[in-house]
Amino acid sequence: MDVFDKCAVNMGPLGIYAQQAEGYYMFPKLEGELSNRMIFQGKERLVWSLNNYLGLGNHPEVRKVDAEAAKDWGLAYPMGARMMSGHTSYHEELEKQLAAFVGRESAYLLNYGYQGMVSIINAMVDRKDVIVYDGGAHACIIDGMRLHFGKRFVYPHNNMENLEKELKRATRIVEKTGGGILVITEGVYGMAGDLGNLKDIVALKKKFKFRLFIDDAHGFGTMGPTGAGTDEHFGVQDEVDLYFGTFAKSMAGIGGFVAARKDVIKYLQYNMRSQVYAKSLPMPMVIGSLKRLELIKNEPEHRENLWKIVHALQNGLKEKGLNLGLTQSPVTPVMLNGTVGEATQLTYDLRENYNIFCSIVIYPVVPKGIMLLRLIPTAVHTLEDVDYTVKAFAEVKYKLENKKYSEDLKEVPNHQPG
């Protein structure tokens, strides 16, 4: 056998759709300025699928600072990993400001959120420790746990009774091994928009001894009175022991950070392998992130605009009878019943006839028979965009319920899956 044989035979769970879906549903090209309207396949579309929550991606000051930093420093500087030759006062300054913003003693930058998360988990636990995690955890959390030699227990998404059961099991184990327990949840769940049950999880600290780690990729910058995150929203910052945020969403950049007690961050600084053994964030990313953070702190209007659009969109869709599940964040999932074929038809109708571009999630990511259209409102959307979209969704819902898409299925164009 040749290790390359699988490439022709088994493309993997997502790759199986490549032939039919690539270029349209998967790897679509969105062109033009990052905004509420972009070009897809030569036509302008109303875009609801960018995590550019605060609209900072195209903010003139951000663009200016990004460009100036690239001119002054280039993309190469600093060369090397932080520990060896990639450390600067700008990196330190950003860490200081991030820690203060999320109400922690200390913070450390991550050159990518995903790898950072993997290494935080890897560094934080050893074979004596037990991880207890939410079943809805993002792939980066799962990959971090794959490196863990000790036990790990999963509880069904946000199910506190089960979490308690798993904490009892974990406690029995660590009493024998002499290890500790790390509970991992997300702040905002990026697909369904619901929140990790932080208040109840924190309350369990009265009964069990554990440390709480949250991945707040979608909550940082969007949730809480100052945008400091989902733990700020719940008023439990002091009880969340480790806080992870990415720059890839509300900050419209790349990279991320972890924040915690000073000694914990110092330990991570020396033990997160993806940071110790990989190049540090380039200067334009660091200087650009300082600018973004300044705007998040000093221009609350971006968050206010975001939430104005979120409320208008979510209320409008609900009034038309659309099911948005349990979202309590900007993430707006529209759940409809239908086959994979109907889902692709409906999405095609939205894109081609209504010029609305949003992401579609189907089985196996969601249960069979469900399609999830995921809308991400941003500060740069308008109330007109919302009205137009709400009307369009009411129409496609009607068509779906009246079997319009299953009839259309006979004329599926080549590039469509299903």
Ligand X SMILES: Cc1ncc(COP(=O)(O)O)c(C=O)c1O
Q: Which residues bind ligand X (CB under 6 A)?
A: 112-114, 117, 138, 140, 186, 190, 215, 217, 246, 248, 256
Q: Whole-number minimum distance, CB 140 to ligand X, in Å?
A: 5
Q: Whole-number minimum distance, CB 53 to ligand X, in Å?
A: 12
Q: Whole-number minimum distance, CB 42 to ligand X, in Å?
A: 28
Residue 330, strand partner residues: none
Q: Whole-number minimum distance, CB 254 to ligand X, in Å?
A: 7
Q: Whole-number minimum distance, CB 369 to ligand X, in Å?
A: 25
Q: Which residue has the tokens 């949003």?
A: 358
The residue among 116 and 316 lying less far from ligand X, judged by its C-beta, is 116
DSSP one-letter string for 197-218: -HHHHHHGGGTS--EEEEE-TT
SS3 of 163, please?
helix
The strand pair at 130-134 and 152-155 is best described as parallel
Q: Whole-number minimum distance, CB 376 to ligand X, in Å?
A: 11
Sign of the Cα pseudo-torsion (75, 81, 84, 86, in order): positive
The residue among 254 and 412 lying less far from ligand X, judged by its C-beta, is 254
183 Cβ neighbours under 8 A, 6+ residues apart: 131, 132, 133, 163, 167, 201, 210, 211, 212, 213
Q: Whole-number minimum distance, CB 206 to ligand X, in Å?
A: 27
The strand pair at 332-337 and 106-110 is best described as unpaired
d(CA 344, CA 361): 10
Q: Whole-number minimum distance, CB 411 to ligand X, in Å?
A: 36
The residue among 113 and 417 lying less far from ligand X, judged by its C-beta, is 113
The residue among 78 and 113 lying less far from ligand X, judged by its C-beta, is 113
Q: Which residue has the tokens 């990989």?
A: 278
d(CA 189, CA 138): 8
Q: Which letter, b or e, does each residue of 370-391 get, where b requires 16 or more Cβ atoms within 10 Å of its Cβ?
A: bbbbbbbbbbbbeeebbeebbe
Closest-CB residue for ligand X? Answer: 113
The residue among 163 and 217 lying less far from ligand X, judged by its C-beta, is 217
Specify the amino acid at residue 284: P
- How big is the chain, counted in residues? 418
Nearest to 59 by CA among 325, 339, 294: 294
The residue among 57 and 113 lying less far from ligand X, judged by its C-beta, is 113
The residue among 117 and 360 lying less far from ligand X, judged by its C-beta, is 117
The residue among 277 and 398 lying less far from ligand X, judged by its C-beta, is 277
- Gap between the terminal Cα atoms of the chain: 32
d(CA 217, CA 383): 26
